[in-house]
Every structure is written in C-alpha cells, then in structure tokens.
Amino acid sequence: MAKPLLGLIFGIIAGSFFPLDIMGAYTKLFSVVLLVALDSVFGGLRASVNKNFSDMVFISGFLTNALFAAFLVFVGDRLGIDLYYVALLVFGFRIFKNLAGLRRHFLKNF
C-alpha cells in the first residue's frame, strides 16, 4: 500500500513546485488522462489493501486505459462528437467504486 500512496504524494508535491500550463486544445485530453491516472492509483491502493497488488497489472492497466481514453478523445474530436464524456463517466465511476471498496475495507478492519 505504501508504493501507490508515496507515488501520489510525490506527484502532488512535484506538481505544486513545477506548475504546468496546458493549452486549450489539450484540456479534454488532459482531463481524461488525469482521471485515468487517479483510477490507476486508487485501483492500486485497493489491490494493495486486498493483498493482490501486481506492478505489471498496475502499469499495463494504466497504459492500456490511457491509450484507449486518448483514442476516444482523438476520434471524438475528428468526428465532432464529445466522446471524452464517455471516458470521464467510466473512469469517474471506477474511482468512486475503488474508493467505496477502500472505505469498506477500512471500516471492516477498524
């Protein structure tokens, strides 16, 4: 459980010291990639708490989800359809599902 949590803390600290300006054309893509990253972190935390965390599953899941979400944004922009809403909805749902699992685990063990 320490690895994903330390990575999240390190990322927040690094982001506060090195601010990044994102061009308007990339805001849709960035919002989706941010949700993919949060989904991976909370999924990793949940897997770690359940004692079945795997580095390869974590990394491959992040890369696969990020590439597919970026593909949805790209195709949606080309077709003139806001397909990034689909990715935002799905990954937002998964984040809340992982948080609910973490909450249940901690309440059960508390």
pLDDT tens, position by position, 19-75: 878 788 788 888 888 899 889 889 988 998 888 989 899 999 899 988 988 888 888
Position 56 scores a pLDDT of 92
Domain boundaries, the chain: 2-109
Sign of the dihedral through C-alpha 12, 13, 16, 19: negative
| pTM for this predicted structure | 0.76
Position 1 scores a pLDDT of 60
104, pLDDT greater than 80 = yes
Sign of the dihedral through C-alpha 16, 84, 53, 109: positive
5, pLDDT greater than 80 = no
